[in-house]
Amino acid sequence: MNKSFRRFLSLILAVFTVLSCVAFASAEEAVAEFKYGDITSDGNINSSDALAALKHSVGIALLEGEALRAADVNGDSSVNSSDALDVLKYSVGSIKLFPIEVAVKKPGTDAEILALYAKTINEAKKTIPAYKLKASTKGLKVAFSGTAMSFVPKDEVAAMEKDMMKESSFQNIFRAGSSTAFANLPGECKITDPSLLKEVKLTELADGNYQIDIAFKDDKNPKAGSPVVTMLNVPDKDTFIKQMNDELGSAVGDEDISASAELKNLEYTNCRISCVIDVKTGNFVSVNTEYDMRTNMTTYVAFFSMGTDTTTKTVNEYSNFIY
């Protein structure tokens, strides 16, 4: 192979290499993900992008195309000093999302925080998303009394108490739109007055999403429509005693035995809801509910009576929401 041909071949290979690099770079640019604030399209958001927005706003170097779209970070269809300032804030980490990316306005008062939760849960009850639920119940206190106890050996009573103190749990994935998915969601929120609750708090998380924490006042012998009953989807006193008597009747069946339950007290304490709301969509990321339920009741079967004073803690963890 003569020297001239070698030089010609080297030149062709060099040109081909350059063209390949150019073609590769162009392909990379074509598939680069669009990001608000990345006005220079270098994959980063920094002071150079803020400067580009500022230059456009004063007419020094006008933007167009995707660069112009990326610069309108507040979504007002113009690029000015406000956009440049937001880009600068983002670059130093003082904001996590641009205004145009936030679909949910940050609440400023307790009433607004409660209204945001109400809107989110009520919409979820309408759309019924798919989700994962992990639920657990654990006995915190149990005590037996009554005439029936005189016929039960002490070791069996101790075994009964121990059994009721065990934690029971289940996990399930509920299909979107199903009746069971609807039934297992927390209840709707029709409460507009935060003073009916113990505490309402909002925290802005590191990713820009909002965490809402709602603490309830203790509710003794609750009536239908109370905050705890409606929002935590738990029975009021009248509903609870009806359910107990229905279960007793079902257990006795056709037997010629009288059975009834008398509820002295039903009390909910330490009740809370904690949820995370995606500010880009206004949908739930996760929801946790928990409450302690104390029941003081007497069950009568034939000529026996058994009193039970129990307290249980229930925790429900909702996650993996798909709308």
Q: Quick one: which of 142, 117, 105 has its CA closest to 201?
A: 117
- The pLDDT, as a whole number, for residue 22 is 41
Q: How many residues does the chain have?
A: 323
Residue 32, pLDDT score: 61
Predicted pLDDT of residue 243: 94
CA distance 161 to 152: 13
Q: What is the pLDDT of residue 214?
A: 98
Rounded to an integer, what is the distance from CA 201 to the centroid of its chain? 15
Q: What is the CATH code for 32-101?
A: 1.10.1330.10
Query: Any idea where the domains of the chain sit in the sequence?
Result: 32-101, 110-322
What are the helix (H) ranges across the chain? 3-31, 47-57, 65-71, 81-91, 110-127, 154-165, 179-184, 227-232, 237-252
Give the per-residue pLDDT at 23: 40
Confidence (pLDDT) at 95: 79
> Do 277 and 119 contact (CB within 8 A), yes or no?
no
Q: Please return the burial class of 218, using the count of CB atoms within 10 Å of its CB with bins 0-12, 13-18 and 19+.
A: middle
Q: What is the pLDDT of residue 318?
A: 98
CA dihedral 59, 61, 62, 63 (to 10 degrees): -140
Q: What is the mean pLDDT for each group of 10 consecutive residues in the chain (323 residues)?
A: 49 42 42 82 90 90 92 89 89 84 88 97 96 97 93 90 92 97 96 96 93 98 96 96 90 79 96 96 96 96 92 98 95
